[in-house]
């Protein structure tokens, strides 16, 4: 079997069970991803509460984003361990385990004493909980992509992965909506005093709901067939990945870097950037962010449908150009045309939807026997390095460049264009073809 052809049979149409699987997986992923990203929406408040008050504001934000980045740095370990057992014991078991590993640290974050009570122990405990969150999400995202891709017909892989990615981005939307509600319903002193805890406590409840939803999912047909034929990996799956699939790893890591630029910078960091750099009220910045995430969710599904029809090369060439143009227009207009905040942020958010096509490439690049390990290793290692360091890098760049987010995303779009060109040539030679 080749990497592309060991997905489900391409001939049949999507069935009712396929839609049920996609819906349950996407809903569960949304709730779990909310737990992982809610931290960033309260980065400004967390910086004030968990670090010494006499620190410069930029340094507090740098350290806060450093704790946020720790979640990304922890992803490879959690992802590799869960992917290893996912390739040997089943996708569903690891898909379910990741929920409890995410829900408990989120709940405990909402109960943590601040620097005023615990001193230096407060940010250290926050860091430890963030690392546990990172280990959980390291298994969740790759596992979710593999799970849905192996359930649907091969010609609908893009739609399935795009829909699942849309579910994950809906978790960001949920976080943005909760943050918007909090900044609307409570005053800033109330939020700093106690209300900032509510989103984290709510995350614990979401974890229970996500666990319940996944009780109704079934093991993937692809893994069940491997298990029945006793064709599971004969050695450590990651060893096979590193030895035999270097090209797949390199391409997957490059696409993950592009993905991290869109999600981390344009979606997660921008609300704080709007407040700090342009003095935009928190509630207004979060409302604009919510609209951008709605458009991102739609963009993920559109990108998945497009890659099913056009292939990865053309999709990433067009998508990278659109993301470069829309994101630069958005950031460069903030100082001169603030009335364009909502429409231009919405367009930029939709353009970030190109990330919905990324898993299409990754699930086809690795054969089923090591697919979970290959995808998880590539995605999590790249996200740990690029996604984890991006917030700190952009924060440092902002000291000298007010348009640092725009320039960072623009540089990554050049990478996306290069990868799209490479993928177009590779597809003509037969790689990734179903």
pTM, full prediction: 0.81
- Assigned token pair, 321: 């150009």
Q: Any idea where the domains of the chain sit in the sequence?
A: 16-428
Q: Minimal CA–CA distance to 296: which of 175, 417, 118, 123?
A: 175
Give yes or no for residue 380 having a pLDDT over 90. no
- DSSP labels, 16-81: HHHHHHHHHHHHHHHHHHHHHHHHHHTHHHHHHHHS-TTS-HHHHHHHHHHHHHHHHHTHHHHHHH
Are residues 284 and 411 in contact, defined by beta-carbon separation less than 8 angstroms? no
Give the per-residue pLDDT at 378. 92
* Residues above pLDDT 90, as percent of the chain: 43
Taking only the tens place, the pLDDT of each residue in 288-336 is 998 999 999 999 999 999 999 999 999 999 999 999 999 999 999 998 8
Compute the distance between CA of residue 418 and CA of residue 305 in angstroms, rounded to an integer.
22
Are residues 277 and 421 in contact, defined by beta-carbon separation less than 8 angstroms? no
Give the per-residue pLDDT at 268. 85
Give the per-residue pLDDT at 235. 61
pLDDT-based confidence at residue 2 (cuts at 50, 70, 90): very low
Give the per-residue pLDDT at 56. 84
Give the per-residue pLDDT at 231. 47
Taking only the tens place, the pLDDT of each residue in 93-105 is 776 777 788 888 9
- Assigned token pair, 403: 């348009």
Compute the distance between CA of residue 96 and CA of residue 404 in angstroms, rounded to an integer.
39
DSSP state, 8? B
Compute the distance between CA of residue 3 and CA of residue 80 in angstroms, rounded to an integer.
20
Taking only the tens place, the pLDDT of each residue in 390-433 is 888 898 898 889 999 999 999 999 999 999 999 999 999 888 86
pLDDT-based confidence at residue 1 (cuts at 50, 70, 90): very low
Give the per-residue pLDDT at 46. 92
Between the alpha carbon of residue 181 and those of residues 253, 294, 372, the distances in Å are 36, 16, 37
- Assigned token pair, 413: 């779009």
Compute the distance between CA of residue 293 and CA of residue 160 in angstroms, rounded to an integer.
19
- Architecture per CATH, domain 16-428, reads as Up-down Bundle (1.20)
């Amino acid at each position: 079997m080749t990497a592309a052809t060991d997905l489900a049979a391409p001939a049949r149409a999507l069935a009712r069970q396929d839609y049920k699987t996609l819906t349950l997986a996407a809903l569960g992923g949304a709730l779990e991803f909310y737990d992982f990203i809610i931290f960033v929406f309260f980065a400004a408040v967390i910086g004030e509460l968990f670090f010494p008050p006499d620190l410069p504001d930029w340094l507090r934000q740098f350290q806060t984003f450093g704790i946020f980045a720790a979640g990304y740095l922890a992803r490879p370990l959690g992802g590799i361990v869960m992917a290893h057992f996912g390739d040997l014991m089943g996708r569903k078991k690891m898909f379910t385990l990741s929920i409890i590993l995410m829900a408990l640290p989120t709940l405990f974050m909402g109960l943590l004493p601040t620097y005023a009570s615990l001193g230096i122990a407060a940010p250290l405990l926050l860091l430890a909980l963030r690392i546990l969150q990172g280990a959980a999400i390291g298994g969740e995202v790759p596992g979710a992509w593999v799970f849905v891709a192996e359930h649907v017909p091969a010609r609908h892989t893009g739609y399935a992965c795009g829909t699942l990615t849309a579910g994950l981005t809906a978790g960001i939307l949920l976080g943005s909506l909760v943050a918007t509600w909090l900044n609307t319903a409570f005053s800033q002193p109330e939020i700093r005093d106690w209300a900032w805890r509510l989103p984290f406590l709510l995350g614990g409840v979401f974890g229970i709901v996500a666990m319940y939803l996944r009780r109704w999912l079934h093991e993937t047909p692809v893994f069940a067939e491997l298990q029945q034929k006793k064709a599971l990996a004969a050695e450590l799956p990651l060893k096979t990945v590193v030895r035999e699939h270097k090209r797949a790893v390199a391409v997957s890591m490059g696409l993950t870097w592009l993905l991290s630029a869109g999600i981390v910078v344009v979606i997660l960091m921008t609300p704080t950037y709007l407040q700090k750099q342009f003095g935009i009220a928190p509630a207004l910045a979060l409302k604009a962010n919510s609209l951008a995430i709605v458009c991102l969710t739609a963009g993920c599904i559109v990108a998945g449908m497009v890659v099913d029809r056009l292939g990865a090369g053309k999709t990433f060439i067009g998508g990278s150009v659109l993301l470069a143009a829309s994101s630069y227009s958005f950031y460069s207009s903030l100082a001169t045309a603030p009335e364009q905040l909502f429409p231009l942020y919405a367009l930029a958010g939709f353009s970030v939807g190109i990330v919905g096509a990324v898993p299409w490439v990754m699930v086809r690049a690795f054969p089923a026997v090591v697919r979970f390990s290959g995808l998880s290793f590539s995605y999590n290692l790249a996200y740990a390095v690029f996604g984890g360091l991006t917030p700190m890098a952009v924060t440092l760049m902002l000291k000298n460049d007010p348009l640092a987010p725009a320039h960072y995303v623009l540089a990554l779009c050049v990478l996306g264009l290069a990868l799209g060109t490479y993928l177009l040539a590779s597809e003509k030679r037969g790689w990734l073809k179903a």
